[in-house]
Amino acid sequence: MSKLTHESMRPAKEDKKPAGQGPQTYVVDDATTAPAPEQNIDNRLAEFDAPEPEKTGAEFDLPPRKPISKTLEKLIFVGRISTEVEIDGAVFELSTLTNKEHGEIVRRMYRFAEAADLFIVRVLTLANAIKKIDGISLDDIDLDGSFEDDFHKRISIIDQLQLSVVEQLFEEYEKLVEDKTEAETEDKEIKN
């Protein structure tokens, strides 16, 4: 027969039999009446937390986000070009991408296993390049479903558009990038 034990068990007072002769009665103190500081729920849950993974040197911590100052905002939009494209009465506002938006596209592309999936690049690009449709931000458009993040929602919106509209918008985006490249080249020639 196995014996049940616990550190807070003690023999009952009315049990006068010597140990080992027949059944014995034990009493366990109620732990809820006097909780030890080390037994609060946060400490108990912390026992089950996974340890911090070791850094390999390739990772680095980003500084905490701060509100953007007017000077920084001006620098962020230096070289940014925007245009409006009208397709069948709907006005799409397109702009060139920031470094962060471009990086987001590249990270998503690495998720694809097959080369055929790379055709989604135009959808990923337009999800960042289209800022508004008929004056409404893509992030403010209501769409049913659950999404990983805002970028995933914008991808879903672009996926809902007709293929001809996506192709035309991507052509306009490519023209915008070409115009930006030409303007930068002309600017360098003028400086030299």
Q: What is the mean pLDDT of the chain?
A: 75
Please provide residue 9's backbone torsions phi and psi, each rounded to the nearest 5 degrees: -85, 145
Residues of the chain with pLDDT > 90, as a percent, come to 15
**What's the angle, vertex CA 39, arms to CA 33 and CA 42, rounded to 5?**
120
Say whether both 91 and 180 belong to one domain: yes
The more confidently predicted of residues 45 and 170 is: 170
Range of 18's domain?
9-37
* 27, part of any domain: yes
Q: Is the pLDDT of residue 46 over 70?
A: no
Q: Is the pLDDT of residue 3 over 90?
A: no
Q: Is the pLDDT of residue 92 over 90?
A: yes
- Say what angle helices 150-160 and 99-109 make with each other, to 10 degrees: 70
Please give the pLDDT value at position 143. Answer: 82
Q: Domain with 116 in it: what CATH number? A: 3.30.2220
> Which tokens belong to 2?
């196995």
Say whether both 23 and 98 belong to one domain: no
- Residue-wise pLDDT for 126-184, tens only, equals 999 999 999 988 888 888 888 888 888 898 899 889 989 999 999 999 998 888 877 77
* 26, part of any domain: yes
Lowest mean pLDDT among 27-41, 95-109, 154-168: 27-41
- Residue-wise pLDDT for 137-152, tens only, equals 888 888 888 888 888 8
Q: Which residues contact 87 (CB under 8 A, 6 or more apart)?
A: 165, 168, 169
User: Do residues 103 and 63 make contact, with C-beta atoms less than 8 angstroms apart?
Assistant: no
Q: Report yes or no on whether pTM surpasses 0.85.
A: no
One-letter identity of residue 159: D
Pairing of strands 90-95, 9-11: unpaired
* 1, part of any domain: no
Say whether both 165 and 91 belong to one domain: yes
Strands (E), 115-159: 130-133, 136-137
Give the three-class secondary structure for 86.
Answer: strand
Mean pLDDT, residues 85-106: 89
DSSP 38: G
Q: Is the pLDDT of residue 101 over 70?
A: yes
Task: Give every strand in the sheet of 130-133, ordered side by side.
Answer: 82-87, 90-95, 130-133, 136-137
> Which tokens belong to 67?
């509100």
- Residue-wise pLDDT for 69-79, tens only, equals 666 656 666 77
* 31, part of any domain: yes
